Structure 1
Amino acid sequence: MRLLPCFKSHYLAASTLFFIGGISSSVLFAADSLGQPNDDEWKFTLKNAYINRDFENPAIKDAGSWSQSASLFYTSKMRDTPLEIADKPLTIGVDASVQYAVRLSNDRHVADTVLPFDTQTKSQASDYLKHGATLKLGYDKTLLKVGELWLDLPVTSIDYSRQLLTSYWGENLKSQITDRFNVEVGRVEKVSPRNQEGFHKFAFTANGVTKYSDGLNYIDLRYQFTPTLKGEYYFGNMENLFNKHYVGLDHSWKQQNFTLNSKFKYFYAKNDGNTFNIEVQNIGLLETLKVKNHTFGLGYQEITGKSAYPIPDGFLPETYFINWNTTGFFKKDERSYHFIYGYDFKDYVPGLNAMVKYVYGNHFKATNGSKNMESESDIIVNYAFQQPYLKGLSLQYIRIDYGIKTGNDFGEDRFFINYSKKF
């Protein structure tokens, strides 16, 4: 069973997997059963991000920016205290983060979802700063965190796809009940979106109406049924906005020459209170076949119910979706199909891999009531330098082409230079 999540900042792998849909990067350091490192860890990262979205409609301003960030993350090991229960000590630890980014490009006076944007002055911020800290208390195979949280769950995932990272503020308790069964419960009071400083209340907007929530209460259960089959159930109550249920199954079939991974995902959301008319389901299937250096993927996702699937404000991606892309594909009644092909060039150019993805969505309507359809094509190229003196340096290029029958087409380029150093 996948261990309960700890913070991950491997930008290269995570950004690629963000586009695959619902797959998380691996833990990059030795850790205990609750994802805590065996030694104190400092991680310093640099990220140079160029993002440009070019709309075909000349009446819409192109969006984007060029920025540079420097971030430092500290994760402590758990240290014994003098207090003991049943001959087992209580443990304590602290985590902390500082993220800073500066704009290198001219102000385009348009919101680009990367940098903070002042709607009154219509200006992009020249720089911005995010920081947080976490107190950790542990006992045996149970861990309590209070403060800044890095979560890999429905509703609350980390967004690696732009510049600075999304984080959350609240409390959560993780416990490894058995070798197969993990439980996590928590209350998330605020969120620090990728393009904002500080922590803010959750919000949701529909039909021009915005409402706020005092917090998200959730429980997440994960169970390893067999060595090849694991399951997950999640329930989240976003107070005064909506409730969300998630059920997921993940099966891997490994043979000598190939590996077949199958994912089933079911989401159900319903309004909490009478402000919004929300009742919607999302059902998704994904088959991924790996043969030597090749990866093939085929996915299907269907939205059914009274509304589009609700996503909180603040550009918070639902990376658990089968078809989460730049444009989401979660409109009311939408059916979407995606196709993936990836290749690892390790036999020819170690450190180089590439992926192409195509998603087609239909069966939904435009705002004028006409039948609509949309598509997105992505090309993702990654290169991690292999030379010892360049260890930790990587490049990523993403090309996105989006088209819609009734709406605004665009092309987008993203180029990242990432550097990471652990000590």
Structure 2
Amino acid sequence: MSMNYAFPVASRLAVCIAASTILTPACADIFQDSKASLELRNYYFNRDFRQSGVAQSKTEEWAQGLILRVESGYTEGLIGVGFDAIGLVGIKLDSSPDRSGTGLLNTARGPGGRAEDDYDAVGATGKLRMAKSTLKVGTLLPKMPVVMYNDSRLLPQTFRGAWLNSADIDNLSLDLGRLDQTKLRNSSDNEDMSVYNGVARNIRLGRHATSDRFDFGGATWRWSPSLSTAYHYGELEGIYRQHFLTLNHKWTISEGQTLSSDLRWSRSLDDGGSNVDNSALGAMFTYSANGHGLGLGYQRMSGDTGFANINGTDGYLVNLVQINDFGNQDERSWQARYDYNFAALGVPGLTFMTRYLSGDDVTVRSRADAGKEWERDSELGYVIQSGPLKNLGLKWKNASARSNFSSDIDENRLIVTYSLGLW
């Protein structure tokens, strides 16, 4: 996909910016309705896998991230014009060649295999709006079942492409678009897309290892404020295509008590250049009352391969957690989760979560017996609610994972965030 399609939007925007210097009413809203924010993200990551007997026993790095987001309003008229921009900077605070590979710092290496001192990226997006329909062209951060950008490290993953969303029909949201490049969370460069292929995904590729075309579309229907269903389709040209059905429901049992249901089913097939063949069923039910939350989940893979998703993205699976997603071939897994919001005790901003997941029946080509794995996660977070440090967030994430077909892992992450509205 050529980015030449962005030129008409860019030229109209340039005309508007020039005209705005004499305060033409048609362009005033593009600036009056604009907003900008700066997010500071300080991230320490430690992953220990010395018990696996590999040469490098752990990864450990510390870095500072800056994420600048700018969103304009729209010009007046039948078709409104606007623009968005994002600036990303990652700064190394501590790293060494024998501890690299956390995903916080640039994959490019300097002399001696050392991580570079910093890396950055800039993205721009032109946008058009007519009624309740919006077309965005340029840098995108898609978040839908068939393609979910990854934001689990220092800087977010981004994509390049075009995305049309329409909400002109009440209770119906429609999406249609194409992506041609991605910038991974630890890179400054755009590149073609590939399919994630973990230890036991068992995906075989033909002559197409990467693709510069991912087409997607979807429809979400809100039956009521508490019930919605959706269908989405995605196709990574020459590698795989995917159908995705979802249902979300929230039942208010009584005042202060709810039961939430999250059901997901997908069917992934090859697109002429792989052996992708997977059906994924997932269900998560969460009971909430008086600050407590108790969740139970089940996930089942079937077919000749594991789940298919674009490399670097978050696969939309109910058992996607801190380290694993339990999406291997034939894997069946369950999850038990507990959350507590301390606002119920008069301490707003303080939250706690813990969960345990177990998976088995994994088809591992290098083993005669079935693969098994489990993971245990805990998170403790606090966001300051008032005063000069309002919006300062602190989070500790701890995880342990054990497997008979992959590395055993113990992990800690310490994250400090601060968001500042610039205008």
Q: Which of 39, 42, 45 is matched with 1:48 structurally?
A: 42
Is contact 1:378-1:398 (8 Å) kept? yes
Which one-letter code corresponds to 2:362 in the other structure? F
**Pair 1:175-2:170 in alignment:** no
Q: Aligned equivalents of 2:403 and 2:137: distance in 1?
A: 44
Shift of 1:154: 2.3
Is contact 2:109-2:116 (8 Å) kept? no
Q: Which of 68, 76, 80 is matched with 2:72 structurally?
A: 76
Shift of 1:122: 4.1
Q: Aligned equivalents of 2:408 and 2:128: distance in 1?
A: 50
**Which residue matches 1:351?**
349
**Which residue matches 1:408?**
407
Q: Aligned equivalents of 1:251 and 1:146: distance in 2?
A: 33
**Pair 1:134-2:125 in alignment:** yes
Shift of 1:368: 1.8
Counterpart mapping for 1:184-195 below 5 A: 184-195=175-186
> Does the residue aligned with 2:266 lie in a helix, a strand or coil?
strand
Counterpart mapping for 1:128-277 below 5 A: 128-204=119-195, 206=203, 211-254=209-252, 255-273=254-272, 275-277=273-275
Q: Alpha carbons of 1:268 and 1:123: their partners in 2 closer, same or farther (altered >3 Å)?
A: farther
**Which residue matches 1:85?**
none
Counterpart mapping for 1:384-403 below 5 A: 384-403=383-402
**Moved >3 Å (runs of 4+):** 118-123, 205-210
Shift of 1:38: 8.6
Q: Which of 54, 58, 62 is matched with 1:59 structurally?
A: 54
Which one-letter code corresponds to 1:167 in the other structure? T
Is contact 2:205-2:274 (8 Å) kept? no
Q: Alpha carbons of 1:282 and 1:122: their partners in 2 closer, same or farther (altered >3 Å)?
A: farther
CA deviations 1:341-393 (Å, max 9, x no partner) are: 01011124321110001110011133223222100100011100123211121
Q: Alpha carbons of 1:371 and 1:225: their partners in 2 closer, same or farther (altered >3 Å)?
A: same
**Which residue matches 1:7?**
none
CA deviations 1:16-73 (Å, max 9, x no partner) are: xxxxxxxxxxxxxxxxxxxx99921101111100001000224242113100012211
Q: Alpha carbons of 1:225 and 1:421: their partners in 2 closer, same or farther (altered >3 Å)?
A: same
Shift of 1:119: 7.5
Q: Aligned equivalents of 2:95 and 2:142: distance in 1?
A: 34
Counterpart mapping for 1:363-382 below 5 A: 363-366=361-364, 367-382=366-381
Taking structure 1 as the reference length, the TM-score comes to: 0.85
Shift of 1:159: 2.0
Is contact 1:131-1:198 (8 Å) kept? no
**Which residue matches 1:3?**
none
**Pair 1:419-2:418 in alignment:** yes
Shift of 1:90: 1.2
Q: Aligned equivalents of 2:240 and 2:189: distance in 1?
A: 24
Is contact 1:64-1:114 (8 Å) kept? no
Counterpart mapping for 1:272-351 below 5 A: 272-273=271-272, 275-313=273-311, 315-318=312-315, 320-325=316-321, 326-346=323-343, 347-351=345-349
Is contact 2:37-2:420 (8 Å) kept? yes
Q: Aligned equivalents of 1:92 and 1:63: distance in 2?
A: 45
Q: Alpha carbons of 1:38 and 1:359: their partners in 2 closer, same or farther (altered >3 Å)?
A: farther
155-164 vs 381-390, which moves further: 155-164
Q: Alpha carbons of 1:302 and 1:122: their partners in 2 closer, same or farther (altered >3 Å)?
A: farther
Which one-letter code corresponds to 1:201 in the other structure? D
Q: Which of 98, 111, 130 is matched with 2:101 structurally?
A: 111
Shift of 1:179: 1.5
Taking structure 2 as the reference length, the TM-score comes to: 0.85
Task: Report percent identity of matched pairs.
Answer: 26
> Does the residue aligned with 1:174 lie in a helix, a strand or coil?
strand
Is contact 1:189-1:216 (8 Å) kept? yes
Q: Aligned equivalents of 1:133 and 1:70: distance in 2?
A: 17
Is contact 1:43-1:73 (8 Å) kept? yes
Q: Alpha carbons of 1:334 and 1:297: their partners in 2 closer, same or farther (altered >3 Å)?
A: same
Is contact 1:111-1:124 (8 Å) kept? no
> Does the residue aligned with 1:360 lie in a helix, a strand or coil?
strand
Structure 1 unaligned residues grouped into runs of 5+: 1-35, 82-88
Count of residues in Structure 1 that have an aligned counterpart in Structure 2: 378
Q: Aligned equivalents of 1:149 and 1:77: distance in 2?
A: 17
Is contact 1:63-1:108 (8 Å) kept? no
Over the aligned positions, Cα root-mean-square deviation in angstroms equals 2.0
Shift of 1:106: 2.6
CA deviations 1:74-98 (Å, max 9, x no partner) are: 01112214xxxxxxx2101100010
More strand by share: 1
Larger radius of gyration between Structure 1 and Structure 2 = 2
103-112 vs 213-222, which moves further: 103-112
Q: Aligned equivalents of 1:68 and 1:176: distance in 2?
A: 38
